[in-house]
Structure 1
Amino acid sequence: MEYDERLARFRQGHANPFDRSEVTDAPRNEVRPELFPSDTKTQSSERPMDLGLAEDHFSRPVGSFVASDIEQLKQTIEECKRLILELPEHSERQKDTVVKLIHLRLKLQELKDPEEDEPNLRVLLEHRFSKEKSKSVKQTCDKCSAIIWGLIQTWYTCTGCYYRCHSKCMNLITKPCVRSKVSHQSEYELNICPEIGLDRQDYRCAECRSPISLRGVPSEARQCDYTGQYYCGSCHWNDAAIVPARVIHNWEFEPRKVCRSSLRYLALMISRPVLKLKEVNPLLFNFVEELVEIRKLRQDILLMKPYFLTCKEAMEARLLLQLQDRQHFVENDDMYSLQDLIDISTGRLSCSLTEIHTVFAKHIKLDCEVRPLLLSPSSGFERITPEFILNLSGLLLFCLVLHFFHVKASCSKIMCLAWSANTLPHRKREEKE
């Protein structure tokens, strides 16, 4: 008995100070109630997870947990996932645990990507990165291929080539902005899929230089149909685009798989008039009737352009601005953009250009004030017709307009040159026929 009393006093003296009141007040023979009497096994198995979730002695705000570092959070997340599988389905405890798991993962992501005062604009390898403010749009990082969670992650977009990446991935970028290539080079690869082979690439990605192979070990090699080179899965997402070389040589518009950098380059170049078809493939005009039609319409528009530049009504009506999306149509008749060729194949360009040509011709034949002066009996130019005006070269037409509005006297030399310019091409055409 004396030994038992000593042992009891020793235990009482070394007990947990937080539980001392409960030990002294409660009878020795009374059994303390369990927290979850019906689920003792589950209670014991969830103790490691409860250390990070359930015990909250200091009343932390929602989302703050005892597990403060990344390794502890990962361990707690695994315990939480295991507990969700053990709990009964659709139970309240399972739902609460799922909510806690979501908070844990958000906390882990915050620790991986700590919020800092990131600059709004960063320049790297000719990229001009602008900090994005969108929190709801889900994007994919062009560097690590992971999803960008705008709600909790800082991300940037290049204003030149629209390259998107996490803030943490910016220092890993090795590819310069393709906008600089468009500005300096401004030309296409006109050979169809110019393959050089993996051995010439040293079995490495053409962009990031990571090891690749056709067997997929360590990474699958994916060929870009535009450059002909091989890329890894991070630099080649199997995006499809129309390849200019196949359009020019085969008149083929089927999208082909290209790498990410080629996709951005083709998107920036699609409206640039850098294709001179009569030099690259002049035989294309013999097989594509739409090209011949478009070329004739463009030649007529170029003949009408000087007339509009000297006509006050045409300038006020801004007729030439109807071609502002294709400015090269009022500068030359032999340069095409890739978008022009795509619209020609679908018939869209032929319809729109025919309408513009009709508006231009209507102004010259019916609406313009210069035409009645040219066709008046007192002018001495009774043989001038609307077709004659359309066939005049720009310089001669400009001289005629100046003649009527400023000189107001007959000029047989100008008329002779104009008449020769109008009739000589027809005579040559008749001789050839």
Structure 2
Amino acid sequence: EKTHKDEPNLRVLLEHRFSKEKSKSVKQTCDKCSTIIWGLIQTWYTCTGCYYRCHSKCLNLINKPCVRSKVSHKSEYELSICPEIGLDRQDYRCAECRTPVSLRGVPSEARQCDYTGQYYCSTCHWNDTAVIPARVIHNWEFEPRKVCRSSMRYLALMLPRPVLKLREINPLLFNFVEELVEIRKLRQDILLMKPYFITCKEAMEARLLLQLHDRQHFVENNDMYSLQDLIDISSGRLSCSLTEIHTTFAKHIKLDCDRCQAKGFMCELCKEGDILFPFDSHTSVCHDCSAVFHRDCFYDNSTTCPKCARMTERKHDDPPYPRDT
């Protein structure tokens, strides 16, 4: 039998990239044969993509492709709640390895995966649990449910990916989850602050926008969410961290930086009060020219924007360019 040293450090199989492990821990279980990996005497590998782990001797028996490639090629969730088709449609076989299964446990116990709705054998389903995206989006329910091994890996890898457009999938969620409305407003404000930072040398040097590096999508749009975002909204964590970042950003623009302050607006309708910014809660912004006014002054779209009026007048007054003769 090969010794540990004879085994290659890297093996590539079914899009898995298996790296030989150095750990001697005995608390690992082989994903292929479901028995303990004795690190002191057995060589074992972990996939660097999906964290599938197995004995060296089990490597060539693997028939499950790496889940990370599925995440890369098909970044979307099953959005029906536990879409069961029934064991008869599965031919009374495990949905993954096709081992015969039944609900009576003869010859092998059938275990349902709450994410796919399908049934699996005990080798492919270890009763791991995960938060189910469909239950979160339709019921705002975060209780972890039992899932098969491949669903567990897929959901873990998908967790930080912003693939959920809540406004389209379930717009009603915003009507009864107040925290979502609060987060949406904070995200809209941050997008309004972004142009100040990308034209401000001090903000770029202070790397202010990098405070959102682990949620890069917050700097790009305000309607895509990851499942991790929704879990953090539910626990209150996201509201705390985002409010803190919002305060830091607003302080830079309104108090600390002369250059950003100079880009504020005076309300041209009442010509009174402090300098206004588009992310201030008491302001309205003209859709056409982005000028900022007090909300009470520019209370609806029937109010004429003075800046737009000036620009229209200027167009009429400017003589047309003379034609070449």
**Residue 192 (structure 2) aligned to one of 303, 326, 331:** 303
Matched, 1:419 2:308: no
SS of 1:267's equivalent? Answer: helix
> What letter matches 2:177 in structure 1?
V
Residues 111 and 125, structure 2, Cα contact 8 Å, conserved in 1: yes
Q: How does 1:13-28 map to 2 (within 5 A)?
A: none
Query: For residues 67-99 of structure 1, what are the alpha-carbon distances to aligned partners after superposition, in whole Å with 9 as ceiling and x for unaligned?
Result: xxxxxxxxxxxxxxxxxxxxxxxxxxxxxxxxx
1:233 aligns with 2:122: yes
3-state SS in 2 of match to 1:129: strand
Q: 1:428 aligns to what SS in structure 2?
A: coil
229, 232, 236: which one aligns with 1:340: 229
> 1:227–1:262: 8 Å Cα contact kept in structure 2?
yes
Q: Deviations over 1:183-206 (max 9, x none)?
A: 000010000000011111111111
Equivalent runs, 1:74-113 vs 2, <5 Å: none
Partner of 2:135: 246
Secondary structure of the structure 2 residue equivalent to 1:165: strand
Structure-1 separation of matches of 2:98 and 2:214: 39
Q: Distance in 2 between matches of 1:358 and 1:364?
A: 10
Offset at residue 429 of structure 1 (A): 7.5
CA displacement, residues 318-343 of structure 1 (integer Å, 9 cap, x when unaligned): 11011001000010000000000000
Paired residues, number: 295
What is the rounded CA distance, in whole Å, between the counterparts of 1:326 and 1:384 in structure 2? 36
SS, match of residue 156 in structure 1: strand
Inter-CA distance 302–375: structure 2 relative to 1 (3 Å threshold): closer
* Matches of 2:174 and 2:297, distance apart in 1: 21
Q: 1:277 to 1:131 in 2, by over 3 A?
A: same
Higher relative CO (Cα under 8 Å, sequence separation at least 6) belongs to 2
Deviation at 1:344, TM superposition (A): 0.4
Q: Identify the range of structure 1 (134-143 vs 347-356) with the bigger mean alpha-carbon deviation.
A: 134-143
TM-score (norm. length: structure 2): 0.84
Aligned match of 1:156: 45
1:330-374 CA distances to partner (integer Å, 9 max, x unpaired)?
Answer: 100000000000000011100110010001111111011225545
Letter in 1 for 2:300: K
**Which residue pairs with 1:115 in the alignment?**
3
Per-residue deviation, residues 274-321 of structure 1 (Å, max 9, x unmatched):
001010000000000000000000000000001100111111111101
For 1:167 and 1:331, the matched residues in 2 are separated by: 44
Question: Following superposition, which runs of at least 4 residues in structure 1 exceed 2 angstroms of deviation?
Answer: 113-116, 371-377, 382-391, 416-431
- CA-based RMSD: 2.8
Letter in 1 for 2:291: W
Q: What is the alpha-carbon distance in structure 1 between the residues aligned to residue 225 and residue 140 of structure 2?
A: 14
1:340 partner SS: helix
Which residue number in structure 2 is paired with residue 19 of structure 1? none
Give 1:10-409 correspondences, 5 Å limit: 115=3, 117-371=6-260, 373=262, 385-390=274-279
Look up the match of 2:320: none
Which residue identity lines up with residue 231 of structure 1 in the other structure?
A: Y
Counterpart CA distance in 1 for 2:216 and 2:265 is: 35
Change (3 A) 1:171 1:202: same
- C-alpha offsets along residues 171-190 of structure 1, whole Å, 9 cap, x if unaligned? 11111000000000001000
Q: CA deviation at 1:387?
A: 3.0
Q: Percent identity?
A: 79
Over residues 198-252 of structure 1, what are the superposed CA-to-partner deviations in whole Å (9 max), with x where a residue is unaligned? 1111111111111111111110000000000000000100011100000000000
8 Å contact from structure 1 (residues 119, 131) kept in 2: yes
Following TM superposition, by how much is the alpha carbon of 1:115 offset from its aligned partner in structure 2, in angstroms?
2.6
Residue in 2 that maps onto 1:29: none
> Taking structure 1 as reference, are residues 376 and 242 closer, same or farther at Cα in structure 2, changes over 3 Å only?
closer
**Cα distance change, pair 207–386 in 1 and its aligned pair in 2 (3 A):** farther
The amino acid that maps onto 1:182 is V
Structure 2 CA distance for aligned equivalents of residues 215 and 139 of structure 1: 29
Q: How much does 1:417 deviate?
A: 3.3
Partner of 1:65: none
Name the CA shift for 1:317/1:425 in 2 (closer, same or farther; >3 Å). Answer: farther
CA distance in 2, matches of 1:376, 1:266: 46
Q: In terms of mean alpha carbon deviation, does 185-194 or 130-139 score higher?
A: 130-139
Contact 2:45 2:53 in 1 (8 A): yes
Seen in structure 2, the aligned counterparts of structure 1 residues 182 and 225 have a Cα distance that, compared at 3 Å, is same
Q: TM-score, normalised by structure 1?
A: 0.64
Greater percentage in strand: 2
Matched AA of 1:387: L
Taking the aligned partners of 1:376 and 1:297, their CA distance within structure 2 comes to: 21
2: CA distance, partners of 1:376 / 1:235: 61
Distance in 2 of aligned mates of 1:178 and 1:371: 46
Instruction: Select which of 282, 288, 300 maps to 1:428.
Output: 300
**For the residues of structure 2 that align with 1:252 and 1:269, how far apart are their CA atoms?**
18
Contact map agreement 1:364 1:386 (CA 8 A) in 2: no
| SS at 1:387 equivalent | coil
- Structure 2: state its 5+ residue gaps: 304-325
